[in-house]
Amino acid sequence: MKKSAREKNSNKRTNRKNRLEKWITDVLNGKDYSKINQIAKEAVKAVLSEYNKLISISLTAIIQTLKDDPELVNLIHNMLIPKVNGHNDNNDINIIKYLGFNKDNLLDLAEKNYQNLVEE
């Protein structure tokens, strides 16, 4: 019995699919893939570790900056603790003004604290 063109194409596709599946299995089970996979895992771990260090250093720099500027701490504290009779909108304005006027000084102080921590 002669195969139709449709059957021939179907067989070709099936054979091609089987070859590709075998190739993928061989690649995934090969030692080169294992090496690449291990290198990638180590690289990801190293990057995440660096981000973790960066976050830790940044938070420490923020805390040190707040320690060095008690006026800012008081403004933040007053902003977060509402008054007995409701939230004090004047304090929101005060902190916005304070941050606006002292932005450069605060950024310089934060950068100095950050650099000190990075150098340690």
**Could you tell me the two tokens for 96?**
């916005």
Torsion (CA) 99, 101, 105, 108 in degrees, nearest 10: 60
pLDDT tens digits along 8-63: 788 889 999 999 998 888 888 877 778 888 888 888 888 877 777 777 777 787 78
CA quadruple 74, 76, 81, 84: dihedral positive or negative? positive
pLDDT value for 93: 63
Q: Can you say whether residue 11 is alpha, beta or left, with left for phi > 0 and alpha for psi between -120 and 50 degrees?
A: alpha
pLDDT tens digits along 78-100: 766 655 455 555 656 666 777 77
pLDDT tens digits along 98-112: 777 777 877 787 777
pLDDT value for 16: 92
Domain ranges of the chain: 5-119
